[in-house]
Amino acid sequence: MSASPAGGGSVRPLRIVGLVGNPRPESRTHGLARTLARELARVVPTAVTAEVDLAPLGPRVLDPADAAAAAGAEQVLGADVLVIASPTYKATYSGLLKAFLDRLGTGSLAGTAAVPILLGGAQNHRLAVDVHFTPVLLELGAAVPVRGLFVLEPEVADFAAVAAAWARAHAPALLAAGGAQAGSFVTV
């Protein structure tokens, strides 16, 4: 339900959606997306969160008539802030994620602020988040106002503290990039 602000018009809660491109359900990658979305929601307490885990969909992301894949795409398209996470495969994001993103039209994420996260096993892939992942989000129209996160496997255990600090530092830039401010979304 929405409320009317003092100046008139309706407002809605800020929607933070985690999109997980790991082919394994409930993966460490999923945990990273969930943790960062939760920490962003703590900074913007009126926010609501949702998740789209591509693992259960698997090859169905390739079927344009698949109802579950279409529902996932609608969740993503409805995000104000998109936390998009993938394991690093061959120095880039997963093929499953790429196949899903191909469902979205060029520019369809306009008005959405995105945070790309890659989980990797080697330091030499650290630039992949900015060199390979961010450009596809920009092509889809998302704003990527801050550098993406690259998390090495040994850093996963301590990611909650990193995510909390990151969310406090970067939430204002994400909100501004998406055209929102922390106080502009109200829930009832």
Long-range (24+ apart) CB contacts under 8 A made by 134-141 are: 136/93, 136/98, 136/101, 137/82, 137/84, 137/109, 139/106, 140/101, 140/104, 140/105, 140/106, 140/107, 140/108, 140/109, 141/106, 141/107, 141/108, 141/109, 141/110, 141/111, 141/112
Mean pLDDT, range 163-181, rounded to an integer: 88
Mean pLDDT, range 29-48, rounded to an integer: 95
DSSP code, position 130: I
75-95: pLDDT as tens digits: 999 999 999 999 998 889 999
Q: Of 107, 108, 78, 83, nearest to 13 (Cα)?
A: 78
Residue 97, domain member (yes or no): yes
User: Which range marks the domain in which residue 168 is found?
Assistant: 15-178
pTM: 0.89
Residue 159, domain member (yes or no): yes
90-110: pLDDT as tens digits: 889 999 999 999 999 999 999
Asked whether residue 185 carries a pLDDT value surpassing 70, the answer given is no
- Per-chain mean pLDDT for the chain: 90
**How do 113-120 and 81-87 pair as beta strands?**
parallel
pLDDT band with cut points at 50, 70 and 90 for residue 135: very high
Total number of domains constituting the chain? 1
Q: Of 85, 141, 136, 148, nearest to 111 (Cα)?
A: 141
* Residue with token string 């970067």: 170
- Greatest CA separation found in the chain? 52
Residue 56, domain member (yes or no): yes
- 5-14, 52-61, 116-125, 140-149: which has the minimum mean pLDDT? 5-14
Asked whether residue 186 carries a pLDDT value surpassing 90, the answer given is no
Q: What is the CATH number of the domain that holds 50?
A: 3.40.50.360
